[in-house]
Amino acid sequence: MTGTVFVLNGPNLNMLGQREPGIYGGKGLAEIGEECRKAGVKSDLTVDFRQTNHEGVLVDWIQEAADGAEGIVINPGAYTHTSVAIHDALRAVGKPVIELHLSNIFAREAFRHHSYVSPVATGVICGLGPAGYILALSAMKQLIAARS
Ligand code: CA2
């Protein structure tokens, strides 16, 4: 069973590894993307790993997943806490969605405790650093298999 999974990353995640290593670790996003692609090969999943700083681009990619992917892993960055547009797009997509955060958003500032994404996600992973991406792909593999 093969399938494409979109791994979508929101604003400022392109800065990983360059600043704030105490919160987000020392790995850059390119390295995390490479690890995701390798994990995908082992699980027979094609990982389409992307990052944008723009909310509307994330909405476009979520809509694209309706026909172009079997599931979405998304780290929406700060849009997690603000975006009704991303909530609406994920609600409409009709595919499994895993919300992912590198940091434990519940152990941080109060404004990070609310997510517009969690109510429309199949599951949520947070606080496990880059390993969370690999765990999310493993969970997504099972979610996709359960639907086919
Ligand atoms: O923990 C996560 O993965 C977050 O989604 C990361 C977002 C943050 O706004 C969320 O509350 C939690 C921030 C993205 C990364 O921001 C950086 C800023 C400067 C340097 C490195 C990363």
Pocket test for ligand 1, best of 8, 9, 13 (most atoms within 8 A of CB): 13
Ligand 1 neighbour 82 (Cβ under 6 A) = no
* Per-residue pLDDT tens digits for 17-30: 998 889 998 999 99
Round the CA-based radius of gyration of the chain to a whole number and report it: 14
Burial 20-51 (b: 16+ CB within 10 A, else e): eeeebbeebbeebbebbbebbeebebebbbeb
Q: Is residue 1 predicted with pLDDT exceeding 90?
A: no
Can you list the alpha helix ranges (DSSP code H) found in 7-130?
21-24, 29-42, 55-68, 84-93
Q: Residue 30: what residue type? A: A
Ligand 1 neighbour 14 (Cβ under 6 A) = no
Q: What's the pLDDT at 19?
A: 86
Set 87, 101, 116, 133: catalytic member? 101
In the predicted model, what is the mean pLDDT of the chain? 97
- Concerning whether 101 is annotated as a catalytic residue, the answer is yes
* Per-residue pLDDT tens digits for 51-63: 999 999 999 999 9
Q: What's the pLDDT at 141?
A: 97
Q: Is residue 5 predicted with pLDDT exceeding 90?
A: yes
Q: Is residue 119 predicted with pLDDT exceeding 80?
A: yes
Grouping H, G, I as helix, E, B as strand and the rest as coil, residue 58 is helix
- Is the separation of the CB atoms in 86 and 9 below 8 Å? no
- Concerning whether 24 is annotated as a catalytic residue, the answer is yes
Q: Residue 9: what residue type? A: N
Q: For helices 84-93 and 55-68, what crossing angle results, to 10°?
A: 0
